[in-house]
Amino acid sequence: MTRVFAVFAALCMSVLLAGQAPRPQMVEYQLRPVLERGALTSIAIELRFRGEPDGETVLQLPNSWGGEDELWRGVADLRVDGAAMREGDDPAVRVLSHRPNARIRVRYRIVQDWEGEPSAGAGRRNPYRPIVQPGYFHLIGNAALIAPQIDGANPVRLRVRGLPRGWSFASDLEHEGLSLARVHASVTVGGDYRVRRGADENVRVAMRGAWGFSDEDFTAQVSEIIAGQRRFWGDDSTPYLVTVTHLAQAQEGWLSIGGTGLDDAFAFFATPNAEARMITRTLAHEGLHSWIPGRIGGMPEQDEAADYWLSEGFTDFFTGRVLVREALWGPEQFAADLNDMLRAYASSPARAEPNTRVVADFWNDQAVSQLPYQRGRLLATLWDARLRESGRDLDDAVLEMRDRARMGDPLNAAAMFPLVMDRFGADVRAEIETHIERGAPILLPENAFGACGRVETRTVANFHRGFDVEATLANGAIISGVDPELPAYAAGMRDGMVLLRRDEGEVGNAEREIVYVVRDGETERAFRYWPRGRGAFELQQLVLADGLEGEARARCLAVLGGA
């Protein structure tokens, strides 16, 4: 009788389990630095998981991301245990054949597939490819992690082994609750990085190199920015990592600041002459990408760049808003930042290009790549001013988009936004078609910023250095293409001189004198002139009201900060 009951119970349990969803299987990554004679040469990565029930699992190697292609070239010595491996339809795919649900181990090394150290200069981009230098490494998940194409909800665990004595390690893959779907939007660093925690223990900063600001001050500012953004979105404190990687200057005086926002991290790159205010702005922008656009509807599956006007432009708009709200910017800093953008937009050679050009050339043309930031921010400013007339602002729109996305709304952010604005009595479709899709220039109304001041419109000369800067840089800083009809020639500049540096002036601003220092034979000379080219354009600038103090300043801050 007992045996019959046991068999019956076993059968019942089998039926019960058959009706349950399979338990998610842990996916494990293990990283180990590989050194030769004390110098790092590669990162050994081991990946463990269970294969698919049908006996075939696809491995996705790093491929294209962030303007980089053929990222699989950084993968070396790829081997698999527990399955037979064959090539897929393209170099970034491998197909594994195995027993159903087999335990599989994948081993490979990540190497730096480009020469030299990370640097900034003409024609160089942020080093999103794997960085493997003798004393440190920097890996963005999209560029370094092979992943099986299995259920993205499977949990993931990352471990690091064999760190040399004195090395640090930081990754946003270390925290709990991580799923396979999120491993690529990550950053992992190790080596001579200095790891600090902010006032919020969940915020970490990993920095390397010497800077004009202290690690402590920088970490405190990062913590303030992230805390302010979380308050805006109504989110609790969660782990967040900022990495700051030093870029060597390929050319004297070159300044570069940039990076990429990831799910819960920001990978930042800069030359040592980067100023704190520029870093603050970049951090605020990239930090907001934790919410925009992913948590307000996300992006389309194809032609993602077509919606960059929202994902990047709205992020730029709310960057200024959050910095003002957190008292990191006042009206003066806000106006200076806005006016820089307005000047760049007004003088852009791509200003009237349609959105199809953005889709085609976002990663290939600097002027085109800035259009979504500029157009989205300007339209967000227009729409915010319009909503303020009815007692709302753009905060209300994006927070409703957040709520709709949480409730499972299938629309992506750019498709959802006009519907939300309809509810607020603002039809934005015609402006999206006119200014985004067709590329018609955007002009702000004079009263766009209310109590802060007025938007002034005037005609100014096009900026031109008076020589061909691209040809000059490509020619080893030997000045080329001096135009005899422009002020640089009249000041005495000639082809064949050697460009040393710029001492005064602002690139893109024909309303400030510029000073270039050159070597003419054995003599060092300085040329001062107005960098005016042919033609002119309409320039808008925010002119702050006089005496912006006390109650007037408070009203202005309420407009800029959305309070």
Q: What is the average pLDDT value for the chain, to the nearest integer?
A: 92
Smallest CA-to-CA distance from 331 within 444, 450, 456 is with: 450
Q: Give residue 249's pLDDT.
A: 86
pLDDT at 13 over 60: no
Tally the C-alpha atoms within 13 A of residue 440's C-alpha that lie toward its C-beta. Answer: 8
pLDDT for 8 equals 40
State the pLDDT at residue 68: 92
* Model confidence at 472: pLDDT above 70: yes
Which pLDDT tens digit goes with each residue over 365-404?
A: 999 999 999 999 999 999 999 999 999 999 999 999 999 9
Question: 244 with 268: CB under 8 angstroms?
Answer: yes
Distance CA 533, CA 341 (A): 20
Contact by Cβ (8 Å): 332, 545:
no
What confidence category does residue 123 fall into, taking pLDDT thresholds of 50, 70 and 90?
low
pLDDT of res. 335 = 97
39, β-bridge pairs? 36
- State residue 430 phi and psi, 5-degree precision: -65, -40
Is the pLDDT reported for residue 298 higher than 80?
yes
In angstroms, rounded to a whole number, what is the distance separating the alpha carbons of residues 322 and 298? 21
Contact 149, 58 (CB under 8 A): yes
Cα 384 to Cα 469: distance, rounded to the nearest angstrom = 39
Residue 529 and residue 466 in contact, taking contact as beta carbons nearer than 8 Å: yes
Taking alpha carbons only, the member of 292, 450, 436 closest to residue 384 is 450
Cβ contact 320:329 at 8 Å: yes
Nearest to 164 by CA among 186, 138, 145, 191: 191
How far apart are alpha carbons 439 and 457 in whole angstroms? 20
CA dist., res. 496 & res. 482, Å (int) = 10
For the stretch 200-220, pLDDT in tens is: 899 999 999 999 889 998 999
Which residue stretches of 456-543 are H helix? 469-474, 487-491
Which pLDDT score, from 0 to 100, does residue 11 have? 42
Which pLDDT band holds residue 185 (cuts at 50, 70, 90)?
very high
pTM of the entire predicted model: 0.74
3 state SS for 150-202: CCCCCEEEEEECCCCCCCEEEECCCCCCCEHHHCCCCEEEEECCEEEECCCCC
Lateral strand order in the sheet of 194-197: 194-197, 203-207, 240-246, 265-270, 257-261
pLDDT band at 23 (very low <50, low <70, confident <90, very high): low
For the stretch 79-105, pLDDT in tens is 999 999 999 999 999 999 999 999 999
User: In this structure, what token pair is assigned to residue 462?
Assistant: 């096009």
Most confident of 7-16, 56-65, 469-478: 56-65
| Cα–Cα separations (whole angstroms), residue 5 to 14, 17, 127, 256 | 14, 18, 66, 74
Strand ranges for 324-423 from DSSP E: none
